[in-house]
Amino acid sequence: MQQNPYLLVVEDTKSHIMIAEYALSKLNVDAVYVEDGITAMEMVAQSKPDLMLLDLWLPGANGEAVLEHAHTLYGAVGINTIIMSSQTMAIQELKSRFPYIHGYLIKPYVPQKLIDTVSSLLLTYHDSDEEKLRSKHTA
């Protein structure tokens, strides 16, 4: 039996955490939420997530430091990542340096956009079955 995809959500703003919790509850994923970059780096070292949702502006260590840590641990394959930020210039620069950034969400975003983006990436990079992934989803 295939396990649910493991997602690491790195976000420090309570309202964005609530949106992510709501959106991801509609999918068959196992999500872990952390609110700072240091804890994110520790989690990444313990177990490689199937997908990481990453804010760039975090306490402790910023999102770029988390990406660099993932690169050190996992090399060029890194961790499939979706950046969540209002800083589009920073996103573009990071995408050029870290090829495993496969998407981004410009804050503020609606839950359906997060559901669609996560679903699409998991279907592409995790060998997930769409029906099983979205079986909890009710539009």
First and final C-alpha spacing in the chain: 26
The answer to whether residue 33 sits within a structural domain is: yes
The answer to whether residue 67 sits within a structural domain is: yes
Residue ranges making up the domain that contains 121? 6-127
Q: What is the CATH number of the domain that holds 62?
A: 3.40.50.2300
pTM here? 0.90
The answer to whether residue 133 sits within a structural domain is: no
pLDDT in tens, 33-54: 999 999 999 999 999 999 999 9
The answer to whether residue 63 sits within a structural domain is: yes
pLDDT in tens, 1-25: 468 999 999 999 999 999 999 999 9
Rounded to whole angstroms, the Cα distance separating 97 from 100 reads 9
Our count of domains for the chain comes to 1
CA dihedral 98, 47, 124, 107 (to 10 degrees): -60
The answer to whether residue 31 sits within a structural domain is: yes
